[in-house]
């Protein structure tokens, strides 16, 4: 039986390195969003695949609470930054309980609340849109 050449400590170091890279990417993206200097906010906000699950992010500085419509239920998003970043993870993109795009949000600001679709989950701009379709549209189709 052949021995593995990768030791557990090397495997753990690789996993920590990937986790660290992901954390750095998220921190950098957030920093640029907060400064309104992100060259591509669609790559950070909206619905994105992360490993074998999905993360949804929205930036609403004036909001006190944000909920996302999933199937027929409203799911409250976690406020992950005091300046207005809200997030949720673990969504499906297929099946009966899938998150539909564009995503419908319920936004509370003080005593008022309203519903709106999130522009960062528009089909053409999400990371879920096939690159060939984007290339097709880029040709003026």
pLDDT of residue 112: 96
Inter-residue contact 107 to 114 (CB < 8 Å): yes
pLDDT of residue 60: 94
Contacts of 113 (CB under 8 A, 6+ apart): 106, 107
Q: Write out the E strands in the chain.
A: 46-50, 53-59, 65-70, 73-76, 78-81, 85-89, 104-109, 112-117
Q: What tokens appear for 18 in the block?
A: 């990937």
Q: What tokens appear for 79 in the block?
A: 């406020």
Inter-residue contact 88 to 80 (CB < 8 Å): no
Give the DSSP H or E segment for 17.
helix 8-34
Higher local confidence (pLDDT), 58 or 101: 58
Residue with tokens 């799911």: 75
CATH class of 16-138: mainly beta
Model confidence band, residue 10 (pLDDT cutoffs 50, 70, 90): very low
Comparing CA positions, the residue from 90, 103, 112, 113 lying closest to residue 58 is 103
Residue-level length of the chain:
141
Q: What is the mean pLDDT of the chain?
A: 75
Model confidence band, residue 58 (pLDDT cutoffs 50, 70, 90): very high
For the segment 74-132, what is each residue's pLDDT rounded down to a tens digit?
A: 999 999 999 999 999 887 666 555 577 778 899 999 999 999 988 887 654 445 556 66
């Amino acid at each position: 039986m052949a021995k593995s050449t990768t030791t557990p400590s090397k495997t753990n170091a690789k996993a920590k390195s990937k986790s660290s890279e992901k954390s750095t990417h998220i921190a950098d993206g957030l920093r640029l969003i907060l400064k309104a200097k992100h060259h591509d906010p669609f790559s950070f906000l909206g619905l994105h695949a992360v490993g074998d699950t999905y993360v949804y992010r929205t930036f609403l500085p004036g909001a006190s609470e944000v909920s996302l419509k999933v199937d027929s239920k409203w799911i409250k998003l976690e406020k992950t930054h005091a300046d207005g970043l809200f997030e949720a993870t673990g969504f499906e993109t297929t099946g009966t309980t899938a998150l539909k795009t564009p995503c419908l949000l319920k936004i509370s600001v003080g005593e008022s609340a309203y519903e709106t679709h999130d522009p960062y989950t528009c089909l053409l701009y999400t990371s879920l849109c096939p690159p060939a379709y984007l290339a097709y549209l880029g040709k003026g189709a």
